[in-house]
Structure 1
Amino acid sequence: MESLHELPNIGGILEQKLVQVGIGTPQQLRELGSKEAFLKIRRIDHTACLHMLTALEGAVQGVRKTELSSQVKAELRAFYNSL
């Protein structure tokens, strides 16, 4: 079974935060989506930043966050700025 830390961009700290908010598997993260996962983390960690959001989206898509399209990055930035 695949674990969270096997996904791109998910290190030990982000994995701990995901587990803290009830997201324990890659499938759960994919089903919830990066924005919802980020909102859950933000409730327990007010320092959660745009870099974390892009890392989560990259993990959902299975790519490094630097490989996200400029359109996706812009959408994530707009979402983050709306919070």
Structure 2
Amino acid sequence: MKLTEMRNIGKEMANKLHSIGITTPEELQLAGSKEAFLRLRLTHENVCLVHLYALHGAIENLDYNQLPEKTKQELKSFSDQLK
């Protein structure tokens, strides 16, 4: 399976993930959404909260806008701590 076959992962997101050493769905799952997001933030200026939602949704096999509200709040809190 390729990254682009996961939910929420298009060509642009896959390219960003490749740039930080995540090249397979298994590597993304192993890293987790927060670690992958943190690594993306360090190398790409335009990464935002929606990217974190998309990564988490990809791992959970959910569209990012279908994440539970509690999960969104936890991810937002994590993102806010990085600012």
**TM-score category (smaller protein):** over 0.9
Q: Which runs of 5 or more residues in structure 2 are unaligned?
A: none
* TM-score with structure 2 setting the length: 0.96
User: Counterpart of 1:47?
Assistant: 46
User: Counterpart of 1:78?
Assistant: 77
Shift of residue 67 of structure 1? 1.1
User: Counterpart of 1:19?
Assistant: 18
User: Counterpart of 1:30?
Assistant: 29
* TM-score with structure 1 setting the length: 0.96
Structure 1 runs of 4+ aligned residues shifted over 3 Å read none
* Partner Cα distance (1:46, 1:74) in 2: 22
Count the aligned residue pairs. 82
**C-alpha root-mean-square deviation of aligned residues, in Å?**
0.6
* Partner Cα distance (2:47, 2:34) in 1: 12
* Partner Cα distance (2:67, 2:20) in 1: 25
Deviations 1:1-34 (A, max 9, x none): x000000000111000000100000000001100
* Partner Cα distance (1:76, 1:46) in 2: 18
* Partner Cα distance (1:77, 1:37) in 2: 15
User: Counterpart of 1:66?
Assistant: 65
Q: Which runs of 5 or more residues in structure 1 are unaligned?
A: none
Shift of residue 46 of structure 1? 2.0
Shift of residue 82 of structure 1? 0.6
Letter in structure 2 aligned against 1:4: L
